[in-house]
């Protein structure tokens, strides 16, 4: 990794449909999308999503969906049935 000088960083805020600034941005500056809660950091002349902080609802829901699909695949393959109620899963033997 190349060492880069972080100067006085700028903190931008807007909504996800706004065009993020791309000129005159200082390395390490941030852009916060107030409608999605996502945060981006200016690194090497590009906005990169900051995934180091608390996860957003969107990220949490996507992770929960991936876990559900994995559980369904594993348990259905082993002959179990899955019942779901508001994010709670019950696994029962197929009879």
Closest CA to 79 of 65, 91, 88: 91
Closest CA to 14 of 48, 47, 37: 37
Residue 4's pLDDT band, with cuts at 50, 70 and 90, is confident
CB 50 within 8 A of CB 43: no
pTM of the model: 0.53
CA distance 41 to 29: 6
- State pLDDT tens for residues 6-46: 678 899 999 999 999 999 998 889 999 999 888 999 998 89
Q: Hey, what are 93's tokens? A: 């033997």
The bridge status of strand 46-49 relative to strand 39-43 is: antiparallel
What is the distance, to the nearest Å, from the Cα of residue 92 to the centroid of all Cα atoms in its chain? 32
What is the distance, to the nearest Å, from the Cα of residue 80 to the centroid of all Cα atoms in its chain? 31
């Amino acid at each position: 990794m190349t060492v880069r000088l972080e100067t006085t960083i700028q903190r931008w805020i807007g909504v996800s449909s706004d065009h993020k600034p791309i000129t005159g941005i200082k390395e390490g500056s941030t852009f916060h999308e107030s409608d999605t809660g996502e945060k981006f950091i200016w690194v090497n002349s590009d906005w990169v999503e900051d995934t180091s902080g608390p996860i957003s609802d969107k990220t949490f829901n996507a992770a929960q969906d991936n876990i559900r699909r994995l559980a369904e695949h594993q348990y259905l393959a082993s002959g179990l049935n899955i019942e779901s109620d508001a994010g709670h899963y019950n696994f029962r033997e197929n009879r």
